[in-house]
Chain A
Amino acid sequence: MPLAQTATTVPVVVNDDLCIADKGCTVCVDVCPLDVLRIAEKADGSKTAYMKYDECWYCMPCEADCPTGAVTVNLPYLLK
């Protein structure tokens, strides 16, 4: 499939200074009902959660259950 590069703003933002995915945390990935969050490896080899698929129901378990307050759920721009 020819891949296009269409820019989109994703609603869920993870503050990687606060995220403790490096210590094995996957709470937000585990609870998301739409299964849109994943853990990525950063350039320096450390890990952080991020929004992989732009398919959010803005329901907020990820933000509510994150132990360090690293997740912020914004409304998708299209329905803000």
Chain B
Amino acid sequence: MDEIQDGLTQIDCDILVIGGGTAGPMAALKAKRKNPNANVVLLDKANVKRSGAISMGMDGLNNSVIPGYATPEQYTKEITIANDGICDQAAVYRYAQECYGIIQELDEFGIRFQKDQNGEYDVKKVHHIGTYVLPMPNGDTVKKALYRQLRKARIQIVNRYMATRLLTGEGRIAGAICVNTRTAEFLVVRAKAVIMGLGAAGRLGLPTSGYLYGTYENASNSGEGYAMAYHAGAGLANLECYQINPLIKDYNGPACAYVAGPMGGYTANAKGERFIECDYWSGQMMQEFFDELQGGKGPVYLKLNHLAEETISEIERVLHIVERPTRGHFHAGRGTDYRKQMIEMHISEIGFCSGHSASGVFVDEHARTTIPGLYAAGDMANVPHNYMLGAFTNGAFAGLDAADFIADVDFATFDEGEVVAEQARVLAPTKRDDGIPPNQIEYKTRRLVNDYLQPPKVTAKMELAQQRFEEVREDMEQGMYVRDAHELMRSLEASSILDCADMAAAASLYRTESRWGLYHNRVEYERDDENWFCHTILTKGDDGKPAHSKKAVQPYVVEIADDEKDAYYNQRVDATVAAE
């Protein structure tokens, strides 16, 4: 295993789904059920059985809209406000209307959701305004349950192939080029429609631990989704709206205030005082977090040590089993007992991820990108605050629409030269006898991201970053060296990470205002609704560099009153209350 081998195979399918994490499997299932004759291929860099963010399970649904607790109108309003109004509501509203049906389907798959004594869903309030968080008592089974459905539906699964570039022709999607991560052999997939569910750009910033994979996001999601869409000519929206999260210091796992909050836990400063009313992640909340740290009142903590023993044991049971099961080991190693100490948190490395913020490949309410036949769903598509249920639901929309799309089209012809060029690009690091290993290219890119792109954003620093990225790109293209197929996968990831870093810098420089709290805090500029109440769309320019345009926010489906618009800016606890 791992020796580099020559080889290229071509296969055809009706629908190619890239990424078998969360959105991808649901897209494949929906497409296949809608059109049982369609040949649906689900391809993943890892093994679909245990791939993606939900590999070991999830604590609950963070954004469920359940009749009796919330309405689609309320939810759409809340997400619009959380995103400073820059939100095409149609996609959010459709999600809000249809996610309940997906919950019922997941229920049928055997995934249980918490119910109260009366058998009603036990939904918790975590957001600033509405009630949307639904715990999953057997959340550790979610991926297994999904995998069973894929087998039952006879979806063809291709593991350990990494997609590297999309193929287009005749003004629409034509397929994708993929590389085997253990042999370096190529697989060209011709497809009438392609659905991308490649997850977040999880390795953009560098964790302060110095370990490359100590990230919050699933580390196999290295930004290929964004890079592939970019090189294929698709539009990417609002990339300057970074994801940046409050996480457990060093461990970089979620502190899970969403679990602990409804049970009485909260975010506190070093004195144990509560300083924000709401622990739901938003740019505005992150700005308060940042201010507390800068204001000398940090570190910031998740506080549980005032809670009763039964409550703490229950929190431990939930948090230490699913999602990131090593969390218990981490706390044990540090001697942190929730009963006695608070849990130190910090602001994590930055990334792209609509799962928790808003940026990503531009899609409409059918998950269609700007390239006909190409879809995107989950963390990499720009529907804001997707989370897991958003990945499932928007994945479903993509699958349903793709099933219709393929009915009327044949394979688009593409330029064979693109495959030859991609083979040359991919294999270049294997043709050298010496050079820079991919992990050093990656480390340097990510260190520069931390040093120069992390908010608060400063123009001169971001321009410096662009210069340095160019130097790294030159080194990567001329001097990167790999010894086996595994390192080749890492070299391709390093290239995607660098593409994402370039896009992050360019997008942040383009929007000359501050927006979304800390996410796009440009210290030299105030918020400017007159010029910047719009999406920014990044595409690949004719010179091969990022090009930008503005796109109007679509008319709202749900109106927002003037006095509601800034609700997310009113999160600070007025007179900081002492802990009881």
Which residues of A come within 8 Å of B, CB atoms? 1, 30-35, 38, 52-53, 55-61, 64-65, 73-76, 78-80
Contacts and interface: CB of A to CB of B under 8 A. Distances in A.
Contacts of A30: 47, 49
B414 to A, nearest CB: 29
B486 interface: yes
Interface of B: 1-2, 46-47, 49-52, 55-56, 160, 181-182, 207, 209-215, 218-220, 250-252, 324-326, 329-330, 333-334, 434-435, 437, 481, 486, 489-490
A61 B214 contact: no
A78 B218 contact: no
Contacts of A58: 324, 326
A79 B486 contact: no
B210 A1 contact: no
B326 A60 contact: yes
B108 to A, nearest CB: 25
A33 B47 contact: yes
A79 B47 contact: no
Nearest to B436: A1
A33 B51 contact: yes
B160 A35 contact: yes
Given A34-B220, A76-B214, 8 more contacts: A33-B46, A35-B160, A35-B181, A57-B220, A59-B218, A60-B325, A61-B55, A75-B333
26 contacts: A1-B434, A1-B437, A1-B481, A30-B49, A33-B219, A34-B46, A34-B220, A35-B182, A35-B489, A38-B1, A55-B212, A55-B219, A57-B218, A57-B220, A61-B56, A73-B326, A75-B251, A75-B330, A76-B213, A78-B209, A78-B211, A78-B214, A79-B209, A79-B214, A79-B250, A80-B334
A54 B330 CA distance: 18
A52 B329 CA distance: 23
A60 B56 contact: yes
Most chain-B CB neighbours within 10 Å: which of A52, A59, A65, A74? A59
A10 to B, nearest CB: 12
Which of B47, B207, B434, B435 counts the most A-chain CB atoms under 10 A from its CB? Answer: B47
Given A35-B46, A55-B213, A79 B55 contact: no
B447 to A, nearest CB: 15
Nearest to A61: B50
Contacts of A35: 46, 160, 181-182, 486, 489
A34 B220 CA distance: 6
Contacts of B250: 79-80
Contacts of A80: 250, 330, 333-334
A12 B489 CA distance: 21
9 nearest CB pairs, A to B: A79-B209, A61-B50, A33-B46, A78-B211, A31-B50, A57-B219, A58-B326, A79-B214, A78-B209
B218 to A, nearest CB: 7
Contacts of B56: 59-61, 64
A55 B212 CA distance: 7
A31 B334 CA distance: 29
Contacts of A1: 434-435, 437, 481
Contacts of B47: 30-33
Contacts of A56: 213
Contacts of B51: 33
Nearest to A79: B209
Contacts of B181: 35
Contacts of A61: 50, 55-56
Contacts of B55: 33, 59, 61
Nearest to B252: A79
A76 B211 contact: yes
Contact of B324 (A33, A52, A59, A76): A59
B222 to A, nearest CB: 10
A58 to B, nearest CB: 5
B138 to A, nearest CB: 15
Contacts of A34: 46, 213, 219-220
B260 to A, nearest CB: 21
A52 B181 CA distance: 15
A73 B213 CA distance: 14
Nearest to B329: A75
A62 B329 CA distance: 16
